[in-house]
Amino acid sequence: MASLEVIAKPSESFNYTENAKIQPLDEAPAESLSLWYNAPSKNWEEALPLGNGRLGAMVFGGVSEERIFLNEDTIWAGPPIPEMKESAAETIKEVRQLLFAGKYAEAQALQQKILPERVFPRSYQPMGTLVLDFGTIQEATQYRRSLNLDTAVATTRYLMDGVTYTREVFSSAPDDVIVVHLQADKPGAITFSASVDRPGDFTVEGIGNDCLLATGQASHGDKHLGVKFASILQVNTEGGKSSVKDGKLSVKGADTATIHIAASTDYNRNDVGTPLTHDRVATCKSMITRALQKTYKLLKAGNSEAHQALFRRVSLKLGEPSNRTTLARLQGYRKGEVDPDLEALYFQYGRYLLIASSRPGTMPANLQGIWSKQMEAPWNADYHININMQMNYWPAEVTNLSELHLPFMDYIERLVPSGQKTAREFYGNRGFVAGVASDAWHHTLPYGKAQYGQWVMGGAWCTQHFMEHYRFTGDQAFLKERAYPILKEAALFFFDWLVEDPKTGKLVSGPSTSPENAFFIPGTRKPSNLTMGPAMDQQIIWDVFTNILESAEVLGIDDAFTQEVEMKLNQLALPQIGSDGRLMEWTEEFRERQPGHRHISHLFGLHPGRQYNEKDTPEIMAAARKSIDARLAKGGGHTGWSRAWIINFWARFKDADKAHENIAMLLKKSTHNNLFDTHPPFQIDGNFGGTAGMAEMLIQSHTDTIDLLPALPEAWANGSVTGLCARGGFEVDMTWEKGVLTAAKLRSKLGNTGVIRYGDHSVTLETKPEGSYELLGLFGKN
């Protein structure tokens, strides 16, 4: 099966029909950094996401009924995972000979024979759906629902029968509970029943007169028995009464009601084969007890404070806020209206989503962050590492959320033991390897069809993130204890994996694919995928090797290993420019089966790599530009994440208007009404890649220079940004008018020397730790 195939069950409906009549409140919330709507969500893709990194909620905001889809980030259906049939070491030698001899079909057929089976589905799954039934079909006026990105609270409010109802929901990081608070401006007006359901293994029982206990296990029917979980929903009322009957919780005549939701699972991230044995119910109870020690006001304040400590590090102003609903603006934008403030909102939404789906100690953000509605999510909502999961983390460092990068790196380190086993037993190599995708069960064997499965670069690509974390933070202990060791593991694999191309004597990787593209075997109309030395492989290996040499220098390491890295780097084949001037995706000038393919893998060295830039490799930059032009001319960028990647490419080309054109395409074509990215279907990588791309237009630091406003488009003529980060431990604030920088301030965290460039001006600045510098006056002075 091609990895592009999406499994969706037509029978599953996530639509909501509102039974009450709704009259909108057409007044924007006071906080302009809000998504807001004047009607309840009609479907999941209009609902508003909340999360504390672990517990996710999608709030529909209905009046006759509230629906809140709940997730917990470790709820995954379980093994079996792909299993090894036989060692590939000997076969691979033969496959390589066939590929060098141009016998592509034979090579691929042979490789296919030894690939483990794909096991599908084995999905990340929902924890359940909470339904609050208000039993009302009357008219609600002044209706508005919103998500405040600054406070991380979703609010639904309306007027009915002379009573204003307000419902607030948040997922608190400090208190580790989801909180749903209902209030009315008249006493005794709150009456509803609450139930929770899940289309899978699930039991609900009442405890006392204010609690529901829900327990279950992720699975696919009786297969893939996975993570067991418990969840407690406890309601606290002021006035009125609560009762529990037949798995339903009822509240009658209360002044306020606050539902606290806690969850605990047996997933053991440190040893995934050995589930945790703690008492999950008792854990939930103690979480609820702790939460109950705080008033609602305190819980809410704690949630917002913790969120703002991260969120407020960066501000971005690109245009004037609007009084129209987010949906009206998006609809206008889709028709061609200019709305830079909506783009700024989208940028901040990406940061909001990262804060909500990835916090130190949680699972990393998966293909859907933490928000998934289906028991069989598209691609299992897994951890695809042939671009998607990496893209999730592209905004982390530059948009000042460095610590949120950690769950990703923790996870990659947890793959290492499995990746070492795969290296040793499947490939007969040292080091560690991980391929196209993994999941909660840490499998690393290649699997499925060779066209996507036979690719050994996923883990190595992820090691780049460790190096980038170091470059931004300057954390030498991290470099020594975490970045260098994992880079070394990746390199050891390549030492044994690379072979000499008999034609050139250069070292090439293979058998491998250029994700997930196909070419026609020369002289035939037969598509094939496997080759030796596809451009992306070579560029990723270049990245790993050069990162090692750079860190070895910082750490003062010079040994047999680093010498071998240097030797192999010198012998590494690097991508060539084809007869048509494009950067070649493969070592031969094959005809591509899909010239507009969504993966633009051979431009890795441009972004997220740093191999190519105008100063050092102008010819390659020109060739890369031809490659991207050709891809776009043939319909490239048709998935959300592909479009987001293209923004980043154009930013690196410093082509501001092309970058902006692609932001517009992302928002017009690949964005749901709740601003979630759509592949289609919903996939969160495009949100993160879009945010990263916008940051890349405002600041770049992947070369030895910090570039201010390297790709400022005409559409953003006036604006300001604070708190963007640059490599070397810097933070930058900028203001510009009519496209010209009018103020720029740099804060140095580490006291490094920085070379800062704006247009044709550049300055070398010696800094002190914690020093703050106005830049504009300095340009032209040295």
Question: What are the residues binding ligand FUC (CB under 6 A)?
Answer: 3-4, 367, 379, 384, 386, 388, 516, 598-599, 639, 641, 679, 683
- Minimum distance from residue 685 beta carbon to ligand FUC (Å): 7
51 bridge partner residues: 56
- Minimum distance from residue 3 beta carbon to ligand FUC (Å): 4
Q: CA nearest 131: which of 189, 182, 69, 181?
A: 69
- CB closer to ligand FUC, 63 vs 387: 387
Q: How far apart are the first and last CA of the chain?
A: 59
Q: CA nearest 51: which of 32, 34, 72, 35?
A: 72
- CB closer to ligand FUC, 386 vs 662: 386
CA distances from 438 to 427, 486, 640 (A): 18, 17, 21
What H or E segment, with its residue span, contains residue 36? Answer: strand 34-37
- Minimum distance from residue 2 beta carbon to ligand FUC (Å): 8
CA distances from 756 to 273, 433, 692, 705, 775 (A): 50, 38, 20, 6, 9
232 bridge partner residues: 213, 262
- Minimum distance from residue 640 beta carbon to ligand FUC (Å): 9
Residue 755 to residue 252: CA distance in whole angstroms? 65
- CB closer to ligand FUC, 183 vs 662: 662
- CB closer to ligand FUC, 237 vs 639: 639
- CB closer to ligand FUC, 67 vs 599: 599
Q: Please tell me whether residue 443 adopts helix, strand or coil conformation.
A: coil
- Minimum distance from residue 755 beta carbon to ligand FUC (Å): 37
- Minimum distance from residue 436 beta carbon to ligand FUC (Å): 7
- Minimum distance from residue 378 beta carbon to ligand FUC (Å): 7
- CB closer to ligand FUC, 220 vs 384: 384
- CB closer to ligand FUC, 145 vs 679: 679
Any idea which residue has 């639509």 for tokens?
Answer: 15
Residue 686 to residue 215: CA distance in whole angstroms? 33
- Minimum distance from residue 575 beta carbon to ligand FUC (Å): 20
- CB closer to ligand FUC, 449 vs 568: 449
- CB closer to ligand FUC, 62 vs 350: 350
- Minimum distance from residue 415 beta carbon to ligand FUC (Å): 17
Residue 210 gets the label, from left (phi > 0), alpha (psi -120 to 50) or beta, of alpha
- CB closer to ligand FUC, 123 vs 303: 123
Residue 711 to residue 762: CA distance in whole angstroms? 16
- Minimum distance from residue 655 beta carbon to ligand FUC (Å): 25
Q: CA nearest 515: which of 446, 464, 469, 571?
A: 446
Burial group, residue 758, by CB count within 10 angstroms (0-12, 13-18, 19+): buried
Q: In the structure encoding, which two tokens stand for residue 603, read together?
A: 């431009």
- Minimum distance from residue 645 beta carbon to ligand FUC (Å): 11
- CB closer to ligand FUC, 32 vs 388: 388
Burial group, residue 274, by CB count within 10 angstroms (0-12, 13-18, 19+): exposed
Residue 197 contacts residue 126 (beta carbons within 8 Å): no
Tell me how many helices (H) and strands (E) the chain has.
Answer: 19, 33
- CB closer to ligand FUC, 81 vs 391: 391
- CB closer to ligand FUC, 275 vs 596: 596
- Minimum distance from residue 71 beta carbon to ligand FUC (Å): 18
Residue 51 phi, psi dihedral angles, 5° rounding: -170, 150
Distant-in-sequence, close-in-space partners of 361: CB < 8 Å, separation ≥ 6: 53, 407
Any idea which residue has 């990647």 for tokens?
Answer: 645
| Packing angle, helices 640-653 and 685-698, rounded to 10 | 10
Any idea which residue has 């009302």 for tokens?
Answer: 136
- CB closer to ligand FUC, 34 vs 451: 451
- CB closer to ligand FUC, 448 vs 713: 448
Q: CA nearest 725: which of 347, 395, 390, 397?
A: 397
Q: In the structure encoding, which two tokens stand for residue 659, read together?
A: 């970058």
Residue 537 contacts residue 509 (beta carbons within 8 Å): yes
Q: CA nearest 409: which of 380, 389, 382, 387?
A: 389
Residue 28 contacts residue 36 (beta carbons within 8 Å): yes
- Minimum distance from residue 395 beta carbon to ligand FUC (Å): 18
